[in-house]
Amino acid sequence: MTISRMAEFLKESPTLCLNQKAAEFKRLGKPIIHLGGGEPKSKAPESAIIATKNLLNSGEVRYSPASGIPDLKKAVIKYTEKNYFHKFSSENIIISSGAKQAIMVALQAILNPGDEILYPSPYWVSYPEMAIICGAKGIPINTEQNGFIPKIEDFEKSFNANTKAVIINSPNNPSGKVYPKEFIRQIIEFCEQKNIYLIMDDIYNELIFDEKKKVNPLEFVSDLSADSKLIITNGVSKAFAMTGFRIGWAIANPVLITAMTNIQAHQTSGPSILGQVGALAALEGEQREIEDLRLNLQHNRNILLDLLKSIPNIEIIRPEGTFYSFVNFSKIENDSVKLAKLIMDKTFVLTVPGIDFGSEGYLRISYCGSIEEITEGINRIKWLLDPNSPNEYYLQDRVLVKDNQLIGI
């Protein structure tokens, strides 16, 4: 059997694969703790649930326009004006089946085979694969030596005639770092000077801690005309805890939005009308759920960091947003796939290998679950990796047994 060369090169999504593994473990009755997840455990806004239920009960569940329903575009315009202090028009908006699709169709609209896109590393797992789908190449910009904060000179060094776009995700998945205002200014000026696209992946920009302020990229943009190459993507998945609704959006110049709409129309048609109605209700609501979630995640982060301090020989980078921590385990085991598998096999705790995000020796550990899950998960990891811990760990219905020969301690 033959498949396309693109499909041969494309890797499965490690985070979605991990979700499947967690579901399978639960089905088999394993005492699984999922610390690799990428979705809040809080419920979607009640207004979104009611609106979706009402439409479903009406039976009028039909196609939507390829770029999204007008009322949801209006709500996105209002939300954007509130958060970015600029009012766009409906011609600047496309509603997609999640922010992931918004980024994907944007890249398909701007990239040609052989083009390159730049993004800081560590990076969201889908960026390199999206480039491959477009016949392009992702170029990661290493930030590890600078505490996961990118430096503009590294982008300048990587720029060449094939560079078509830059993607910036702040707060960053997986590091949780919030990029400084000065860097955002520099990267915007850099992209404008080089006449390349800049995609601001702002899906986590409501989830920032410690009184840090989110940076408004429009503060530094010199041109928002029809020639603007700024693209802002966002959605309801993270801040509104509506991952299953699959609704996101992109804001860009009208010509690009038209191109993205044409691509989306032939891929998936318009997003689910049920998801759009739910997203509309959430955006038109009081949005108090966002602050409740942010405070809860900040509390969970603090608990996680305190627990991690008890594990010897690891390096902790303090997250400033999102619901992820990116922890350096390289002094214990530099092969992050091997380490994540060992932790899963021995403790039934799921984490994500750092190599999937472009940084070997790290594990991404989420804190969007319950405090009980976070505490028990880290306690199991500490038991496994601490050479001074006992050989056995007792659960209610079983005993875990470790083998120190399997880990580099």
Cis peptide before 140 (omega within 30 of 0): no
Using 50, 70 and 90 to split pLDDT, how confident is the model at 404? Answer: low
User: Is it the case that residue 409 has pLDDT exceeding 70?
Assistant: no
Which residues touch 232 (CB under 8 Å, ≥6 apart)? Answer: 80, 84, 199, 200, 202, 217, 250, 251, 252
Closest by CA to 343, choosing from 29, 18, 10, 74, is 18
Domains of the chain, CATH where assigned: 5-43+288-406 (3.90.1150.10), 48-284 (3.40.640.10)
CB 199 within 8 A of CB 168: yes
| Mean pLDDT value of segment 334-358 | 95
Cis peptide before 120 (omega within 30 of 0): no
What torsion do the CA atoms of 99, 210, 81, 242 make, to the nearest 10 degrees? 30
The more confident residue out of 408 and 340 is 340
Q: What is the pTM of this model?
A: 0.95
Q: How far apart are the C-alpha atoms of 13 and 267, rounded to whole Å? A: 20
Which residues touch 401 (CB under 8 Å, ≥6 apart)? Answer: 346, 391, 392, 393
User: Is it the case that residue 408 has pLDDT exceeding 50?
Assistant: no
Q: Where are the extended beta strands (E) located within 154-294?
A: 163-169, 197-201, 230-235, 248-251
Chain segment 116-157, per-residue pLDDT in tens: 999 999 999 999 999 999 999 999 999 999 999 999 999 999
Please give the full DSSP string across 130-182, using - where no structure is assigned: HHHHTT-EEEEEE-GGGTT---HHHHHHH--TTEEEEEEESS-TTT-PPPPHH
Going 125 to 130 to 135 to 136, the CA torsion angle's sign is: negative
Closest by CA to 25, choosing from 395, 349, 381, is 349
Q: Which of 22-26, 52-56, 82-86, 235-239 has the lowest mean pLDDT?
A: 22-26
Q: In angstroms, what CA-CA distances link 27 with 23, 24, 398?
A: 6, 5, 17
Closest by CA to 362, choosing from 329, 319, 395, is 329
